[in-house]
Structure 1
Amino acid sequence: MFTTASVAPAISTFRLTLFFLFVLLTCAGLTCAGSSQLRAAETSGQPTAYPWSARGIAEHVEQKAFSGLLTTEQLAPLISAGESLFSARFTRDDGVGRPMSTQAIIPTKRKRPARHQFSRTAGLDANACSSCHNSPVVGGAGDFSVNVFVSEGFQNTDFDNTDPQFSNERNTNHLFGAGLIELLAREMTADLQLQRRQALASARKSGVKNTAELSSKGVLFGLLHAYPDGHVDHSDIEGIDPDLVIRPFSQKGVITSLRQFTINALNHHHGMLATERYGARWTGAIDFDEDGINNEITDGDVSALVAWQATLRSPLQLQPENEQWQSAAAAGNVRFNSIGCAQCHRPALPLKSAVFSDPGPYDAAGTRRQDDDNYAISYNLAQLQWAQSLPRNSDGHILVPLFGDLKRHKIADQEVATLGNELLSQRFVERDVFMTAELWGIASTAPYGHRGDLSTIDEVIRAHGGTARPARDRYIELPESEQQQLLAFLATLTLDDTKPVTQPHNVTDQKAVRQ
């Protein structure tokens, strides 16, 4: 029998036991929660994001948050995220490095780990996109010191030599107006492929060979021969691949879209692997490069980077305040056309629709495609403030002032071979053939040439050979005063109206206003 006196200590002991048990369970719960968070981080392959973490990516973009036609308000956060990613300095905690994969655009494993994670030749060669695209502002061009070595033919191996037998050395292009460029390429591709279908249909109907002239927006791409049996002869096409897809990016014109360009560059320069190419769908792995970080770049991250690049304003043509410069530039504009520069560097091409879809209609495997899921997005570049000031033709089409034709040309010959300085062909494009460089922004993007080894516009004009040789020779034959007029005109084609533009000789006032 228990007495009252004996029960009291027992109750106290029981309460004390309950208290300690509560404390232990609470602590255990906290510990488990913390362990759960750590395990979640380990499972996802992403280090815990402490406020002081050495990470360039604070938060990944979720693709499912964006779909369909976006308004400017819906687009704004995607652009903002893209801008942050473009300037982010990626670190080991983000997934920088590819110890067991190569710089190749096709997922390729290494046989052994790389000796050095960073290398100015084979890559990694930068911590941020803006490390190279930064002159005169982020998204701009780059100096000779940040040239890239395109390792065509050696894309699965490391090389520490700048000899052109191992790689093609390329200067950094600016990205302003890139969205308009891609849209022009899409429309021109659609035109050319329609002409091929029509030529085939005509040949089948008539029963005889049909030869069609390929052209779009006033740019000629040679002849296509269609036969009644469905055979197509591409031997007489010019400046484009046999599939008639215009690939507007890179000096060689071999990159179809900003999305493809972005995925390629993230891997080559940073070892940051996009899941849509290097993830489980195509490789069966979530950490293809075996650096301990899974799913380093999400589909949404790529979409954000594309949105920022696609919405970068088009370069400007400035009207100098200096009257001497005004007069010289006006005369130089006339000279630009009269000596034949505008045959390839066309001042403007018409764009029917400014609605930019991502992914695009010509993105291929290894890049998200429009029918991959329900989260394709589009946005109307014409609604952006900078685009509303672009001129339009009588049909209401935007006149994109690119000073280019989105066509490849032979740019070197035996006598004038400066620009034919590569030994390796890229994607089966001849070594002396390059895409016409768009001149918008040229005053802000020195140095010049594919390698960035020409310091002035005058030098790069004199380096033109091949199909550009006649225009180059006419320039050289001009009196010095008329050459200066042409240079004065080109010096008005700038990227950024807040920065000084290239100053032609004998002109002392650099102030300029928007034309």
Structure 2
Amino acid sequence: MGRIGRCVLLGVVAVCLAAAPVRAEEPVWIEKAIPAHLGLESVTGALDGDRLKTVVKHGKILFEARFTVHDGAGRPAATQAIIPTKKKRPVRETFARTFGPDANACTSCHNVPEAGGAGDFTANVFVSEGFESADFDSTAPQFSNERGTPHLFGSGLLELLAREMTADLKAQRHAALLAARKAGQPVTVELATKGVGFGRLTASPDGAVDVSGFDGVDTDLVIRPFSQKGVFASLRQFTINALNQHHGIQPDERFGTRWTGTEDFDEDGVMSEMSAGDVSAVVAFQATLPPPEQKTPENPAWKDAAKTGEKFFADIGCAECHRPTLPLNSLVFADPGPNDTAGTLRQGDVAAPGAIDLSEMPFARHLTRDESGAWLIPVFGDLKRHRIADNQVDHFGNEILAQRFVEADVFLTAELWGIADTAPYGHRGDLTTLDATIRAHGGAGRASRDAYVAANDEERGSLIAFLKTLGIAR
């Protein structure tokens, strides 16, 4: 068994694509969606110019690839769990609508309005708690949570915001611990970053930290901006989990010999299904997707209504969670990132992370900056979790299982950028209109929801007109 590869010379940089191991007798027309694998050396250090274009192009090919069994699609002996876990007994079926694999390609779900976008109700997935092996054959809510597909536009910027917010919160914890030790008594500090409050922390002189006052963030103070529960810290982690769960493709960095002792963990006969360089390329493709943009309606009446609706949006408190912008100090996206952990490639595993300066992307010209020079990212979110259901308004409290220790009725604030082009709505994609989605807000969103319901038709209509301007630029 050998490897077949090719190198593309870009100026003085050779980008090497090394194919997965193939048998010498394999015909050239074998039905593979992955033509070659990317070496890790090709995605480290500064990525710019033609080198970046090559990596992003490879990532897009993989994102749109319709994986076949010759690529390694299917996982007869592996479960969907985020920790490599063997099934009690291998299964023959390639696809399982419940626990997966449930899709040929990333674009099977991320396709509205185009590659990298959201998914319709028919593309819903079923996710377990996350750590269990959890092979289930029922869509009943006691076995899994049904989820719609969010879009990925602007996801590189979103991860950068989360990294800076995480660094801020950890710095506040460190400062509190130093102050408590110096004072010889407990010190309580308010946790806040980029204008978003995350509760309070009490540090003791002995180094203990009271986390009972935390609000909307995990006890490790890592902001996790991906998934509707906010449980994935990075695009890399999100990508690796999705490849295994939805496609039965096992990336080497989690399922390879380093961790499991075999190159064929899922026992499907295919070795080294996704290289670390491949994962980096898929991450680069997603990280460089342009952020959604607020559109200016051509219709004068719609334009006036949207302007009124934007003010009404703020007046009734929607902007307290759906913050129109969050400031970002640096647009340099490094992968692996600082918050990648076991099961993903980490910064210490490479000589230098792959670095993409998003300020060089065409979309950066449309970003504004504040008086301090920070980029204003129009997310219409706060990267914080909130309880979003109560006893009277409980539509968003319809799950039974917790996910990664996040309670069933607690969700990450949905970023509204792109919402005009990504219907249907809600974490299940079961709400067809924005009006119904607003009316479904309970818990932390209840006061704003009640103000919306109590408003007149013209006010409600203007808010919808405003939300309809938050589209994905095409």
TM-score range, shorter chain: over 0.9
2: CA distance, partners of 1:471 / 1:263: 37
- Tell whether the 8 Å contact from 1:247 to 1:256 is kept in structure 2 after alignment: yes
Select which of 374, 386, 396 maps to 1:397.
374
The equivalent of 1:428 in structure 2 is 405
**What is the alpha-carbon distance in structure 1 between the residues aligned to residue 191 and residue 268 of structure 2?**
48
2:255 corresponds in structure 1 to: 278
* Count of matched residue positions in the alignment of Structure 1 and Structure 2: 461
The 3-state SS of whatever aligns with 1:223 is: strand
Contact 1:67 1:377 in 2 (8 A): yes
Question: Structure 1 length normalisation: TM-score?
Answer: 0.87
Kept in 1: contact 2:64–2:107 (CA 8 A)? yes
Q: Post-superposition shift, 1:113? A: 0.8
Which residue number corresponds to residue 12 of structure 2?
none
The higher radius of gyration belongs to 1
In structure 2, runs of 5+ residues without a counterpart are 5-17
Counterpart for residue 185 of structure 2: 208
1:301 and 2:278 equivalent? yes
Rounded Cα–Cα distance in structure 2 between residues aligned with 1:332 and 1:36: 62
Is the CA contact (8 Å cut-off) linking 1:153 and 1:424 kept in structure 2?
Answer: no
CA RMSD of aligned residues (A): 1.7
Residue 48 of structure 1: CA displacement? Answer: 6.3
Counting aligned pairs with the same residue, the percent is 58
Equivalent in 373, 383, 402 of residue 360 of structure 2 = 383
Q: Deviations over 1:467-495 (max 9, x none)?
A: 11000000001100110000000000001
Residues 120 and 423 in structure 2, CA contact (< 8 A), matched pair in contact too? yes
Distance change (3 Å), C-alpha of 1:37 and 1:215: closer
1:116 CA displacement: 2.2
Tell me if structure 1 keeps the 8 A contact 2:59–2:281.
Answer: yes
Give the alignment of 1:444-459 within 5 angstroms: 444-459=421-436
* Aligned partners of 2:3 and 2:22 also within 8 Å: no
Residues of 2 paired with 1:333 and 1:43: CA distance?
A: 52
Partner of 2:244: 267
- Which of 110, 113, 123 is 1:133 aligned to? 110
- 1:105-504 alignment, distance < 5 Å: 105-152=82-129, 155-497=132-474
The offset of 1:43, in angstroms, is 9.7
Taking the aligned partners of 2:385 and 2:445, their CA distance within structure 1 comes to 12
Q: Which structure 1 segments of 5+ residues have no match?
A: 1-34, 498-515
3-state SS in 1 of match to 2:430? coil
Aligned to 1:16: none
Q: Secondary structure at the match of 2:158?
A: helix
Partner residue, 2:10: none
Distance, in Å, in 2 between the alignment partners of 1:358 and 1:476 is 44
Are the structure 2 counterparts of residues 48 and 234 from structure 1 closer, same or farther at C-alpha, using a change threshold of 3 Å? Answer: farther
Q: Structure 2 vs 1, CA of residues 43 and 180 (structure 1 numbering), >3 Å: closer, same or farther?
A: closer
Q: 1:42 to 1:134 in 2, by over 3 A?
A: closer
Amino acid at match of 2:364: A
Deviations 1:79-99 (A, max 9, x none): 000001000000011011111
Partner amino acid, structure 1, of 2:164: E
Alpha-carbon distance between aligned partners in 2 of 1:86 and 1:473, rounded to the nearest angstrom: 41
- Residue type matched to 2:312 in 1? R
The runs of at least 4 aligned residues of structure 1 exceeding 4 Å deviation read 35-38, 45-51
* Residues 62-81 of structure 1: CA deviation (Å, up to 9, x unaligned): 11123212223321100000
Structure 2 distance, partners of 1:407, 1:315, is 20
Alignment TM-score, normalising by the size of structure 2: 0.95
Q: Which has the higher helix share?
A: 1
